[in-house]
Structure 1
Amino acid sequence: MPATTKPRGLRDGRSRRVFLVVNAVLLILLSAVVIYPFVNIVAQAFSSEGYITTGQVNVVPRGFNLTTFHVVLGDPMFWLNYRNTVVYTTVATLIALTLTTTYAYALSKPRLKGRTFFVGIAVLTMFFNGGLIPNYVLISHLHMRNSIWAIVIPNAISVFNLLVMKSFFENLPSELEEAASIDGVSTYGMFFRIVLPLSKAVIATMVLFYAVAFWNSWFTAYLYMDDPQRYPVTVYLRNLIAGASQVEGAGDAITQVAANVQAVTMLLTILPIVCLYPFIQRYFVSGVMLGAVKQ
């Protein structure tokens, strides 16, 4: 070996340090790019109209202003619609989680007759759907307009979530269920007493996926609901943005609302999800990886 050749371990150690430094720098830059829009929205929510329209607000509020918060939070309809969103999201998430877990558990069993057919039916809906007008006609004929079921039923199962959970169930050790079967545990007993307790990570991930989707959804309610008292808060905020954008020269208070109403509405909408995420974040990565990678 030539005298100038460096030991392999030294080269590998130096390469690893270079990789770690480059990786850390890239992750920091990526995090800054992701976090900046959120910080900017918060800054605009507490800034005055003049500073926002002239582009002087970046990460620190300028001309501290709470007018928009007073307008939005002082409206009883806001709190009514906010309560509707909490109810819709809770009920829809519970129903979606129940249907997804049971359907995925059944599909994960190779002995299920017609398993390929049922998987194909689910996957088919990822590429084709009935279309907006047929769905509207169907919801109307089922008398679900202006009700929670117009939001819950059409979106009860996400095929992506179904396939992730199916893969997770397939990766569970079959010996556990075989031992439980020998002990006389029924199929439902195995599902509730063995499978679900071992699936906390993927279930927490599915709760996050479904809750975020239902919480942020507005078009379904906007399409199927005519009663403002049944609107979710996203529709209320959407109407507030649309109304504020059409008001010009109506006084300082209205002008300030029109300038930063979008920032305030976005902040109020995402706040509950931001508060929920830290409690289930530790399950998130493991839940997705266990469900998406077949071991």
Structure 2
Amino acid sequence: MSDDKIVVRKKKKKFKVFPLVNGLIFILISLIIIIPIWKVLCDSLDARSAYGLNLHPVEFTLGGYQAIINRTSLYMPFVISVVTTIVGTFCGLLLVTLGGYVLIQWEMPGRNFFAYMLLFTMIFDGGMIPKYLVIKELGLMNTLWAVILPMSINVYNLVLMRNFFEGIPESLFEAAQIDGCSPMGIFFKIVLPLSKAALASIGLMFSVSFWNDYTNFKLYISKNNLYNFQIRLRSMVSDSDIPNDSSVSPETISSAATIVAVLPFAIIYPFCQKYFVQGVNVGAVKE
């Protein structure tokens, strides 16, 4: 056997090490993510105390979920979370799509200036206190708009959407203009239909942000009847607001509430997965 063949074989064997290590790392990361969720799920189905590392229910029960269903005081926070998520996602997509579309108007004077100004606000944030003062001066305190509007204007998502729009062939815009299509007609008939992947991925990011929002509700909302599900969940997990039920432990009830909070997106994500995967590299490939 020649020396050249030996060198080639050694290189091939050495090359296979990276995929193996890479796969092991991803398996480890997956386990780090999955095990806590599985632990909480098992705790929500276990009538015994949830302390300890039990990866299966010792005493199976649905009492935790029954306690959540019977507690009508959780209904309104859940509805508020749903409403803010739907309205906030719609407003967010509306703003970032229109803003991204404006920033790809090549003939618009000062287009790059406005784009850089948006990037500046993303890098150099005003901070919590200025935001609080602005919300207060606008009279939005103790309203759901105090939570929806600030999160809807997301510069990062706007930049992603603009990058995706820039990946649309310019020839399509020129052909539409020749056919007499207006700018808004181009937006609704060409841009949006070609942007399903970006809309799905960015919409999912908006939805998760609104659904899991805790900080803004804590800052801008002081009325108990306007608290969302995450605020109630936090009070339950801290053992200060758990219903008394002798059949199950408080940890079982708080774990069941956590699963209820996670469940909507656990159901939705598989249907959006193909669009989300397509939109991960939004704007990465351009004409």
TM over 0.5: yes
| CA contact 1:97–1:207 (8 Å) conserved in 2 | yes
- Point out the more displaced range, 86-95 or 73-82: 73-82
Alignment of 1:1-295 (within 5 A): 3-6=2-5, 20-50=19-49, 52-53=50-51, 55-57=52-54, 59-242=55-238, 244-245=239-240, 253=246, 256-257=249-250, 259-292=251-284
- C-alpha offsets along residues 185-241 of structure 1, whole Å, 9 cap, x if unaligned? 111111110111011001100110000000000221222223222221111212222
What is the CA–CA distance in structure 2 between the aligned matches of 1:220 and 1:26, rounded to whole Å? 35
Q: What is the aligned-residue identity percentage?
A: 34
Structure with bigger RCO (C-alpha 8 Å, 6+ apart): 2
What is the CA–CA distance in structure 1 between the aligned matches of 2:241 and 2:182, rounded to whole Å? 62
Structure in which a larger fraction of residues adopt helix: 1
Change (3 A) 1:246 1:185: closer
What is the CA–CA distance in structure 1 between the aligned matches of 2:195 and 2:244, rounded to whole Å? 56
Shift of 1:245: 4.8
Change (3 A) 1:3 1:179: same
Q: In angstroms, what is the RMSD of aligned CA positions? A: 2.7
What is the CA–CA distance in structure 2 between the aligned matches of 1:195 and 1:125, rounded to whole Å? 26
- Point out the more displaced range, 260-269 or 112-121: 260-269
Change (3 A) 1:266 1:95: same
Change (3 A) 1:183 1:15: farther
Change (3 A) 1:219 1:174: same
Shift of 1:130: 3.5
Which 5+ residue runs of structure 1 have no aligned equivalent? none
Local SS of the residue matching 1:162: helix
Letter in 1 for 2:275: Y
What is the CA–CA distance in structure 1 between the aligned matches of 2:229 and 2:223, rounded to whole Å? 13
Which 5+ residue runs of structure 2 have no aligned equivalent? none
What is the CA–CA distance in structure 2 between the aligned matches of 1:251 and 1:101, rounded to whole Å? 48
Letter in 1 for 2:277: V
Local SS of the residue matching 1:272: helix
